[in-house]
């Protein structure tokens, strides 16, 4: 059950205005305090803070209490430009729940149950496509997959 959030009209207006002006961005979050991250990297907390400050200025990370967000810009810098991929999956009816549960554990951005010719749509990145397809194609009950690689965005 989701908690009901009550907003004033002005808060709703502000939130809606910000959403309309927002730039969508994928974010990858690392949970842990900066002392822990510094220890893992074998550096002082102060040295980590200096590096994080520079990475924030470049728009590569955002930091907060016990988390660091790695932005899509940083991922592209590290892994190169990666295209969005959509994988459509047909599943034998008696295996749907099993495949849905297994799909949640894959390195994907989104898994959507579908009504129609296909049962599942998976949205992921081209950099992990082989791993995702290998996993899906080895799942019991998967009858067919159809893969689409994005060649450009019309609207982000």
User: pLDDT of 110-140, one tens digit each?
Assistant: 999 999 999 999 999 887 899 999 999 999 9
Do 90 and 136 form a contact (C-beta atoms < 8 A)? Answer: no
The residues, any chain, with a CB within 8 Å of residue 91's CB and separated by 6 or more, are 99, 119, 120, 141, 142, 143
Q: What is the pTM of this model?
A: 0.57
Sorted by where each starts, the structural domains of the chain and their CATH numbers stand as 21-78 (1.10.10.10), 84-149 (3.30.70.920)
Question: Rounded to the nearest 10 degrees, how much is the dihedral formed by the CA atoms of 126, 128, 129, 131?
Answer: 170
Do 62 and 74 form a contact (C-beta atoms < 8 A)? Answer: no
User: pLDDT of 41-86, one tens digit each?
Assistant: 999 999 999 999 999 999 889 999 999 998 878 877 776 667 889 9
User: pLDDT of 1-48, one tens digit each?
Assistant: 556 778 788 887 887 777 777 766 667 888 888 999 999 999 999 999
Q: What is the DSSP string of 59-103?
A: TSEEEETTEEEEEHHHHHHHH----EEEEEEEE-GGGHHHHHHHH
């Amino acid at each position: 059950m989701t908690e009901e959030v009550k907003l004033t009209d002005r808060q709703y207006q502000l939130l809606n205005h910000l959403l309309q002006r927002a730039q969508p961005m994928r974010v990858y979050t690392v949970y842990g305090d900066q002392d822990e991250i510094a220890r893992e990297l074998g550096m002082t907390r102060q040295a980590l803070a200096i590096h994080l400050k520079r990475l924030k200025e470049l728009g590569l990370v955002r930091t907060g209490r016990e988390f660091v967000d790695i932005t899509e810009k940083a991922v592209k810098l590290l892994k190169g430009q990666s295209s969005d991929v959509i994988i459509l999956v047909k599943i034998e009816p008696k295996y749907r729940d099993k495949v849905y549960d297994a799909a949640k554990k894959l390195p994907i951005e989104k898994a959507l149950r579908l009504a129609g010719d296909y049962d599942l749509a998976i949205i992921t990145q081209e950099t992990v496509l082989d791993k995702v397809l290998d996993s899906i194609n080895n799942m019991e009950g998967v009858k067919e997959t159809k893969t689409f690689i994005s060649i450009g965005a019309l609207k982000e």
